[in-house]
Amino acid sequence: MTNPLLAEWQADFNLPPFAQINDADFAPAFEAAMQAGRAAYAAIAGNPAPPTFANTIEAMEQADHLLDRVAGVFFNLSGSDSNPAREALQRDLSPQLSAYSSEIVNNRALIDRIEALWSARDSLDLTEEQARVLMLYRRMFVRAGAALKGDEATRLTEVKSRLATLGTQFTQNLLADEREWMMSLDDLAGLPDFVIASAKAAAVERGRDGHVVTLNRSLIVPFLQFSTRRDLREKAYEAWTARGANGGTTDNRAIAAEVLALRSERASLLGYETFARYKLETEMAGTPDAVRDLLMQVWDPARAKAVADAEKLEAMLHADGHKGPLEPWDWRFYADKLRRTEHDLDEAALKPYLSLEAMIAAAFDCAHRLFGLEFRALDVPLYHPDARAWEVTRDGRHMAVFIGDYFARSSKRSGAWCSTMRSQRKLGGEVRPIVVNICNFAKGDPALLSYDDARTLFHEFGHALHQMLSDVTYGLISGTSVARDFVELPSQLYEHWLEVSEVLTKHARHVETGEAMPQDMLDRLLAAQNFDQGFATVEYIASALVDLEFHDGPPPSDPMQKQAQVLDALGLPRAIGMRHATPHFAHVFSGDGYSSGYYSYMWSEVMDADAFEAFREAGDAFDPQIAGKLERFILSAGGSDEAENLYTAFRGRMPGVEALLKGRGLAA
């Protein structure tokens, strides 16, 4: 039978034929796709005609069409709905795909054709977009080791292959720890109805009776927030922070050490002093010192706020009859009590106004008001019953298919992310994207979100808009293919619309009565936006600085010792842990994406705080002129220009850190 991954897809919108795909189809599909890619690159390299932009760069843009299609399905499924067969295949594929990539960037004939075009670029009459794509291809080849020869080239290929294998192993170890741990709950004291319902749903999903706590963030965080059983909070917190560090076959500490050593070797082979200097060269920040400067400007006021808050929380702990210092498993419990005292805000009373359905509708409505997008639910086969799809249109024109997969399950890795099964491009004919948002919300009937959950939904949808509104010719620069410290701008900026009172007034309606959130509750919610920002900022910056110090110097033989040294030098308050400790720091160790780059959320936040000010200055959160500029210069532009140029075109200048400090309530 014809492999459904390789045959022409006949479904509406050219969606993958999920109902026909079996796990056994993936390995032969990848093999066929890589064979097709090798043949395409060989034809480009062996073309007797002189190199042109069309017969070299544009031909390379289309060489991996089949591989992109197969990989777009597989890697979305391996993250969102893993199983033993997919995990085994991913382990096999990681070194194969790394080797395939090395073959391409080490192909001397391809390198020579790109260099010939680069040398003659001023006479090629290229468009600005084509000139940008040519530069990016050359830079990609050079940074991948195209200039290396002999033993150095061979060693770099070995290093990259091993890193690919280790990244996959790190991710799968983390998923295994998250999947296997649960704590039965015989005592539900303090837990509101929505947490009890989520714990019951988690038990059903795990095939257990009663109620359980799992390591899913949307369940364990509210458990730590509400449970009056301090001993159970400690047990849950310790399990949550021990992910990847439990000994045995799923322990990630040795993997982290090897990854850091190999990254350092990779940077050295390419002529860089440290991996951080190599990695940051192409980002907006440019250097490790620029990153440090930003983070430390925010660290001092954030730490001061956290220390002051800790004193209040510890006093509450002692008032409850507990001796000793405030512990990390106490913070959320007493912070929630303090929030109720200072802002009269009870999350159990708030959540019925923040149903998943209402927040999806709110995100869609804002996109319609800002960019004219319409969303129509689709009844099409998808990869899991929890996944849902919508067609996205504007003025009758098809813009994208959007897939939302919102609920936690044991087959899904933790966190939230946006990905594509197909990216936008125009070369070879208009291709519109298939965009996927993955979240890990606790399932309920109905599903109710915390305010942080709702922010996550808006955040990931901001990434989705970056993909949906992309309007470029070349896939290399499509959508979110931008500098790592720029990619979070659209997502973090979109979170601001959840703070707009008219959005909440319209969509935050009680799930049972349909009544709008009372004005006094809305006012209290918005007034509490910066509550506990000292904690949130400190736990984030601690992770970002550990990431940076891991990569900007000799690789530590013991990453856990290095982590402790960095945190001690910072003076991290004892009751606050890193947001992501090393053994479960998937951003950094599951691949190179955020390595030396976890700071990028804050770098982007400097811009998103300033960018939303443009709407405030216009006096309208939906000002059509500002929204038009946002789409033109940011959301539709992809990586067609340097990030700084794109932002300056939108805002007229680059911002300073002041807007961020003000937005987090940390300004003096």
pLDDT digits over 352-386, tens only?
999 999 999 999 999 999 999 999 999 999 999 99
Would you give the end-to-end CA distance of the chain in angstroms?
68
Which of 129, 138, 132, 136 lies closest to 51 in space, CA to CA? 138
This prediction's pTM: 0.94
* Residue ranges in the chain modelled with pLDDT below 70: 1
Q: Percentages helix, strand, coil for the chain, rounded to the nearest 5?
A: 60, 5, 30
CA–CA separation, 495 vs 15, rounded Å?
A: 29
Q: Are 388 and 403 in contact (CB under 8 A)?
A: yes
* pLDDT at res. 306: 97
Q: How far apart are CA 545 and CA 597, in angstroms?
A: 10
CA distance linking residue 144 with residue 564, whole number of Å: 33
DSSP symbol at 200: H
How high is the pLDDT of residue 151? 96
- At 566-597, the pLDDT tens digits run 999 999 999 999 999 999 999 999 998 899 99
Asked if the bond preceding 554 is cis, omega within 30° of 0, the reply is no
Report whether 599 contacts 485 (CB < 8 A). yes
Distance between CA atoms of 20 and 15, rounded to whole angstroms?
12
Residue 349 CA, distance from chain mean position: 30
Told to judge if 460 belongs to the known catalytic residues of this protein, a careful annotator would answer yes
In this prediction, residue 1 carries a pLDDT of 52
Mean per-residue pLDDT over the chain, rounded? 96
Rounded CA-CA distance 501/402 in Å is 26
Q: Which ranges of 287-424 does DSSP label H, i.e. alpha helix?
A: 288-319, 328-343, 347-350, 356-371
| Catalytic pick among 205, 460, 495, 539 | 460
**pLDDT score recorded for residue 668:** 76
Residue 429 neighbours by CB under 8 Å, 6+ apart: none
**Token pair of 166, please?**
């280790």
Return the structure tokens found at 395: 């003025």
Enter the tokens of residue 43: 């034809």
CB 60 within 8 A of CB 83: no
Q: What gap in Å lies between CA 81 and CA 103, rounded to an integer? A: 31
Using the 8-state DSSP alphabet, how is residue 355 labeled?
A: B
